Structure 1
């Protein structure tokens, strides 16, 4: 039977790729986007931009489930990057991690339901569907490694998972730029369906590759 000291040691993971100012920026963005997205719980279509109201009306509670679960995953996942709760309260870290996996599963499953209703065409449908499938698969892989106590692999896969979760942040930041040029969501959703997550994945893979190179040469 594993001693309590050994069990605690399993959660003393190496410092994350995000800390200090980058972590603070991520937390601010995640909670800003997450809390704003929770306003859709009101059930009022007027709470959404006009270009998204049709999808809200067509999908009803599934749309609300998607936005709520995705917002909670975004906020809970951001907190998981902090070393303090992981080291001081590993039980809280584990339960928050389980909640994160559940929220991701709910967000991805509801996204697959909503994606065919995207008004801007089949490219957006395929792009957002691919995001949902990748989000579900990558998060499941991270959860599986945690269950099997392979915590280094768990950490890497959860970084990949959060890169997909953070598509909610990327999408809104990019949309602000497009709106500054007079373009609405429906006009650019085909592009956003890919640009909101593929660069995130590429950035995390590059960071993981560089971290492996540093460890190999240390």
Structure 2
């Protein structure tokens, strides 16, 4: 999120990632992807916060719709052409497309299970989706570390992307599969 300030000026020369200058619509597309991703990242934590969900179910539903329709869905849709247009090479494009595919699949599955009132399944898909939403937050510092240890930029970026996606998905699955501790007096809202 610290990097969004580069995109507030709408100056393509300040972009952290290479922008295709032969396609004048690439930078605006990229900026909208970033802005909608910020909406998703900011709201992601509120969506999986158990006490907010339990105490404010209506708020959870409203925030969830904003998270999905103003954050995840448009950002993921715009990430596809952004990934294909990257100037960082084929390996990076492949890694970004894999991240995007996981983000779209988990988001659509989460939305569909909520609409079908399968809230246990919805929760699991949304934990996975939040893992994908926040994987980009892990990707940035991991990329810096990999460049610092000697990988060239394209290798570091592709490796950091794969590492963030796999790391976040593995953590989400561990979280979902870990033994549940019984809490005294805890109410199950659904």
User: Same fold judged by TM-score > 0.5?
Assistant: yes
The equivalent position to 2:43 in structure 1, one of 67, 76, 81, is 76
Whether 1:90 aligns to 2:57 is yes
2:4 equivalent in structure 1: 37
Question: Which 5+ residue runs of structure 1 have no aligned equivalent?
Answer: 1-32
- Distance in 2 between the 1:207 and 1:121 partners? 34
* 8 Å contact from structure 1 (residues 123, 190) kept in 2: yes
Question: Which 5+ residue runs of structure 2 have no aligned equivalent?
Answer: 183-190
Whether 1:147 aligns to 2:115 is yes
2:83 equivalent in structure 1: 115
Question: Alpha carbon RMSD of aligned pairs, Å?
Answer: 2.4
1:54 equivalent in structure 2: 19
User: Where is the helix percentage greater, Structure 1 or Structure 2?
Assistant: 1
Q: Alpha-carbon deviation of 1:38? A: 5.7
TM-score by length of 1: 0.72
Q: Alpha-carbon deviation of 1:92? A: 1.4
Alignment of 1:97-108 (within 5 A): 97-102=64-69, 103-108=71-76
Q: Alpha-carbon deviation of 1:193? A: 3.0
Aligned length: 179
* CA offset digits 1:23-51 (Å, max 9, x no partner): xxxxxxxxxx2x642651321124333xx
* CA offset digits 1:103-143 (Å, max 9, x no partner): 11111111100112222322221211121122111111111
- Distance in 2 between the 1:141 and 1:152 partners? 12
TM-score by length of 2: 0.82
